[in-house]
Amino acid sequence: MLSAKVSTLCEEDLSRYRDKIAVLGGEDPYNLQCDANELPLTVDYDMILCYLLNTLSFQSNEPLRNRKSLDSYKNFERGFVKEVKGCKCDQIFVVRGKVLHSMRVNDPAAECWILIQNESVDGHDVGEIRSAHCDCTAGAGETCSHVAAVLYALSYARETCLGKQISVTQLPAYWCQPSGSAHKNLYKPVDEIDFGRSVQTTCELRDYELGKTEDELKELINNIAALGQDVAASKAFFDTSDGCDPEDYAKRRYAEQYLSFSNLFEEHLVSASVEEIIDRAKEIVWTLTEEDCELVEELTRDQSSDPLWFKLRYGRITASTFGRSVKTKISNPSTSLLKTICGSNLTQELPATLHGKRNEHKAITAAIKMFQSQNHSNFSSRKSGLIINPLYPYFAASPDFIFECTCCNKVVVEAKCPFKFENLSREEGINSLLNRQHPYILMESDGNIVLNHNHEYYYQIQMQIFLADASYGIFVVWASNFTLFIKVTKNAPFWEENSEKATLFFENVLAPEIIAKHYTSTDKNTNKD
């Protein structure tokens, strides 16, 4: 029996609602008994990002790309999430939440539910957000701000529980953790509001007209660029990259049109069988010349700041997805993995991601100083673009930096900046990393810290080493009060075994997805992990 909360849905939305709850045997989540101690600990920032941006609309079958809901972590931080409860039905967690309306805090809270499927893969609990609903105006769209705020509450619970090695039952009222309250000091007289320090200025900007021609603006931006500064405005204001360099523009157009897998889609194959699509894939020339690979690396050194970087990553197994690609079943591949590899361009503006972006240069600076202190001869360093090796055209890697010297040849550098480690000492930080449920560092009996060979970060840096033809890699863990430098040696047996598995995954799963969207358009034979 359906709840009265869905009685106002139109016929199309009601049909979709029934489809969503079919995995619960038709039970309406609003009618289930839920408890605050029965919640999943698998929701993380990446899962939220993938769900809000890459979930396909049941109407258009296109990604929803709800970027606005990404900002809902602010509503969680402000204390708008008033209740989160859950229950488990087989492998499905039903999570219900109550969230205040951001513009109408005196109205009754919006009530939403989220279905999260949990499975165990290689002994690790993984999950996927299957669907959601909210009784707010936009709730039938499944990605409203209230749903997103509850997801951020679950992510916070996961981070807190795993970081402190405690269970959900030991963590009271974690969704209300932020100290701010939506009702506290909501209304104040203007004379009691602190608007910050008043700044005196004589600039009359409101009535000022720029009055510059496009040629003058181009000259200004080119002059700034000549000083070695990256001018992001050039990509926004002008049709050609870096303002007006025709040669560079031609190179970028060539790479976009002929080197990206996103141009290989063949609509007439959408209804074909996977065997037919694989046969077609064998006829396609996937290889790149050495000159093409060098061009790609040179053009994409801005990495995520450059749309071309995303286009050339599309469909390729990148270093960050290498571990998941070799572990998923070819006969039943992970839907979330496919969406990550063949999804739309994502701009990750989540707190943990922003923290990493803000501090990555500090980690790299520390690594450069460490390397220089070891007296490497003829040392140089530079940013790395997207590295594709002619021997492995299906793969791609983007190390954070490349070091080169006469004695070591080439070294790849990968930096990680753990979130919320600002106040931890070196010992506390290392213990926190070691005590995670799935730690990426391990301590040997002699006290030496190494990278966990079973963790995705190890897979990531091994792919970087082999695609870049580097001698070894340096894995940097940077926090405010300590920095770890972990040397990762080249592991040929590991690479041989896992690159072969990844190649099979590409040929049998990714190629059909690239050519015909075989999995995400039909949602057939996919594993909801």
CATH number of residue 275's parent domain: 3.90.320.10
pLDDT in tens, 482-520: 999 999 999 999 999 999 999 999 999 999 999 999 988
Q: Would you say residue 29 lies in a domain?
A: yes
The answer to whether the beta carbons of residues 118 and 43 sit under 8 Å apart is: no
Band the pLDDT of 358: cuts 50, 70, 90: confident
- What pLDDT was estimated at residue 211? 58
**Is the per-residue pLDDT at 183 higher than 60?**
no
Residue 88 within a domain: yes
End of a domain among 176, 199, 220? 176
Residues 482 and 334 reside in one and the same domain: yes
In total, how many domains does the chain have? 2
Q: Which amino acid is at 434?
A: L
Same domain, yes or no: 132 and 272: no
Q: Are residues 136 and 259 in the same domain?
A: no
Per-residue model confidence as pLDDT tens digits over 140-152? 889 999 999 999 9
Q: Do 163 and 255 sit in the same domain of this protein?
A: no
* Cα–Cα distance for residue pair 107/132, rounded to 1 Å: 22
Q: How far apart are CA 80 and CA 235, in angstroms?
A: 38
Of 160, 176, 192, the last residue of a domain is 176
Residues 109 and 256 placed together within one structural domain of the fold: no
Residue 88 · residue 127 · CB < 8 Å: no
Would you say residue 234 lies in a domain? no
pLDDT at 529 over 60: no
Strand 392-397 and strand 387-389: pairing? antiparallel
List helix spans (H) across 227-306: 233-237, 246-258, 274-281, 290-299
Domain residues for the domain of 383 are 245-529
CA-nearest of 344, 313, 338 to 66 is 344
Outline where DSSP puts E strands in 359-489: 380-383, 387-389, 392-397, 401-405, 409-416, 441-443, 449-451, 472-479, 482-489
Is residue 218 included in any domain, yes or no?
no
Give start and end residues of each alpha helix (H) in 384-508: 426-434, 456-467, 492-505
500 and 356 within one domain: yes
Question: Within this chain, do residues 163 and 297 fall inside the same structural domain, yes or no?
Answer: no
Please choose, from the candidates 292, 308, 294, the residue with its C-alpha nearest in 3D space to the C-alpha of residue 249.
Answer: 308
The residue count for the chain? 529
Residues 136 and 254 in one domain: no
**110 inside domain:** yes
Helices 319-327 and 492-505, axial angle in degrees (round to 10): 70
Residues 279 and 170 in one domain: no
What CA–CA distance (Å, rounded) separates 93 from 91? Answer: 7
Within-domain flag for 208: no
Averaged confidence pLDDT in the chain: 84
Residue 403 lies in a domain: yes
* pLDDT above 70 coverage of the chain, percent: 80
Q: Give the C-alpha separation, 151 to 119, whole Å.
A: 18
Of 156, 176, 196, the residue that ends a domain is: 176
Same domain for 486 and 384: yes
Q: Are 158 and 307 in the same domain?
A: no
Work out the pLDDT band at 382, boundaries 50, 70, 90.
very high
* Residue 206 located in a structural domain: no
Q: Does 21 lie in the same domain as 169?
A: yes
Average pLDDT value for residue range 422-443:
91
The angle formed by the CA atoms of residues 463, 125 and 45, to the nearest 5 degrees, is 70
Average pLDDT of the residues in 266-274: 90
Number of helices followed by number of strands (H, E) in the chain: 17, 14
